[in-house]
A and B are shown apart, each in its own frame.
Chain A
Amino acid sequence: MIEDFPMQQIINEDGEIVDADALNDISTEKVKSFYYKMLCARMLDKKCVNLQRQGKIGTYVPYEGQEAAQIGSAVALEEGDWIFPTYRDHAATLTFGHSMRNLLLNWRGRPEGNVPPEGVNIFPPGIPIASQLLHATGAAWAEKKHGSDRVSLVYFGDGATSEGDFHEALNFGSVFNIPTIFFNQNNGYAISVPMERQMKTKTIAQKGLAYDMDCLRIDGNDVLAVFAATKASVDRARANQGPTLIEAVTWRYGAHTTADDASKYRDQNESETRRETTDPLLRVQRYLQTQNTWNEDWLKTIEEEITDEIETAIAEMEAYPEPDLRQLFDYVYDRPTWTIQEQVNQHLAVQGEE
């Protein structure tokens, strides 16, 4: 079956062009803008790991290594579309218009972290594995019923394909011809469990066949392949041609979270090797170098620009006002029930107004 699902690439690990036709549609400026976004995501991720070590944020979920998958897919969407991330997809949400400050506040245990800017349709991260897939089909179904051509894109991992919700969402998507892109990031592991123990199939893409759905497998570390495949799927969904399952094959360099020790279940040398081979940023750099459009000064400039942006966002996060108790009580219902109202009053009577 794996032969039926070759891993599609546009540029390979060495930055060489594999699919020249596909590349024709993507300008060098666009490639550079992808690089910029990936670099920004990577620098932010590294920073967050440090912030966690310094105790400035709580347990953090790194995505380093998966930038191409997240960014290549998010840039293929347009205003008014919807995305449904997991806890690991903040490179995607940032790309789709989440504010960096709010994204950081999420890791500081602040509810504002779940709130995207007005008009940007990003759901709070799906934490119970695979549950968000059904929200994505529901929201896109609503778009379709409203007669719009907006679509939804939902992120999920290899491990998520074992939950019933995954299969139920694919089935709904397929039965009702819902404009959803099921974007799987196959990073090889679900915490400690490798793909081979999670499933018998060699690909995730083939699971779409059971639902008679368009399905494909791409090199998730090739941002151009990710962009092109997602864009084509989005176009089909907009044209009412139904959902697509995309398996983006990728790798997380780090541990599952900052609370996890990856060396307990895998050889971390593999990550080190991959940094030199399959890395999503390095390959774009190599490609631009072969095109003679890579420039170290440019890199320096954008690194400085990104550093400023990140430092500003961190300063805003740190200066953010203390959490307000009202956030705990005032948003459970449209209007607090008498039970909650009484509990607030009793709470304040003992604890005092802070």
Chain B
Amino acid sequence: MVSPAVNTKKMTMIEGVRNAMDEMLKENEDVIILGEDIGVNGGVFRATEGLHEKYGEDRIIDTPISESGIIGNSIGLAANGFRPIAEIQFLGFIYPGFNQLMTHATRLRQRSLGRFTVPVVVRAPYGAGVKAPEIHSDSVESLFTHMPGIKVVVPSNAYDAKGLLIASIDDPDPVMFLEPLRCYRSNRTEVPDGKYTIDIGRASVLKQGDDISVFTWGAMVMDTMKAIETLEEEQNMSCEVIDLRTLYPLDKETISASVQKTGRAAIIHEAPATGGVSNDVISLINDTSFLYLRAPIQRVTGFDTPVPVYSLEQEYLPSAAKIQAAIVNAVNF
């Protein structure tokens, strides 16, 4: 947490991400960044802006267009002493690197009984709602939560992004760090100077409430907060909103404590329903809090379809009306 003596600055999430990398590059010579267009160009979203000038091209490395090359080399670099941050330009382009993630990054420690380890952070922007071209917008976080051996982190604001990214770089194991595109510049939070960490695996209670626990992450945090604001004004109910922030491992204590308090739960995510992380949250609630439930757990998700071209993407994204209807369903059950 922030001590009063530390200066803070209001930042967008992309600034928080950059600031975290800057802190870690400054602190540890072994931290390096690999990615496409991250050097002079500063990244297509400007996440690495200024870092190339500051730390040089031996540490801020423009790679050839090769996701397998970026992730595969990061594994070798990490196993031999470096702390690579691998930037994938859009999550939709990570698939050439999947082999490296699934068959190596996630299991090198286990295969070598701890002799070789992979402290790599793979960063990638993702999600719909910014009118990006096709293929740029899917939310596939559960492809990674389903990979044993990697942790999955999704910040939704600058403060969390900085603390979680620093924790991820410090983490001895691979971390998939997913950056919701819609959050990059849509909100600003106070961010302390210097190094601080937020524990991976800790959710954040954004708002206390009594009637229902609403779990969400990424860009849907903003939409959920907005939907709930009007709902609470119009109807006499109080919602607890929890930003999960880490999708693997889930924050068992926070999730179960909240559900045991409210007796109801709704999960909101952009990703398709089938195989979505909501299913793991439901399992966790089932395992820990079944007898506390007063209503079936609600889900508001994307469809079991690819994210469409941008003229239809607003239809794809969970709307305020759907979030509100799900909450009302549970509370009035």
**A interface list, Cβ under 8 A from B:** 58-59, 87, 108-111, 113, 124, 127-130, 159-160, 162-165, 190-193, 197-199, 259-260, 264-265, 323, 325, 327-329, 332, 337, 339-340, 343, 347, 350-351
Contacts and interface: CB of A to CB of B under 8 A. Distances in A.
B65 interface: yes
Given A128-B95, A350-B321, A350-B322, A264 B40 contact: yes
Count chain A CB atoms within 10 A of each CB in B36, B68, B273, B311 and give the residue with the most. B311
A128 B305 contact: no
A267 to B, nearest CB: 12
Measured as residues with beta carbon below 8 angstroms from the partner, the interface class of chain B is 35 or more
A264 B48 CA distance: 13
Interface in B34-65: 36-37, 39-42, 44, 62, 64-65
B96 A340 contact: no
Contact of B64 (A59, A162, A192, A264): A162
A340 B303 contact: yes
B8 interface: no
Interface in B117-138: 131-136
A197 B62 contact: yes
Contacts, number: 116
Nearest to B62: A193
B249 interface: no
Contacts of A160: 65
B312 A325 contact: yes
29 contacts: A58-B133, A109-B131, A109-B313, A111-B312, A113-B309, A124-B134, A127-B92, A130-B65, A159-B64, A159-B65, A162-B64, A162-B65, A163-B66, A164-B66, A164-B96, A191-B41, A192-B39, A193-B62, A198-B64, A260-B44, A325-B315, A328-B303, A340-B303, A340-B305, A343-B273, A343-B303, A343-B304, A347-B303, A347-B315
B73 interface: no
Contacts of B315: 325, 328, 347, 351
Nearest to A198: B64
Nearest to A339: B304
- Among A87, A190, A337, A350, the one with the most B-chain Cβ atoms within 10 Å of its Cβ is A350
Contact of B62 (A124, A192, A199, A329): A192
Contact of B308 (A111, A259, A265): A111
A109 B62 CA distance: 30
B41 A192 contact: yes
Interface in B276-333: 303-306, 308-313, 315-316, 319, 321-322, 325
B274 interface: yes
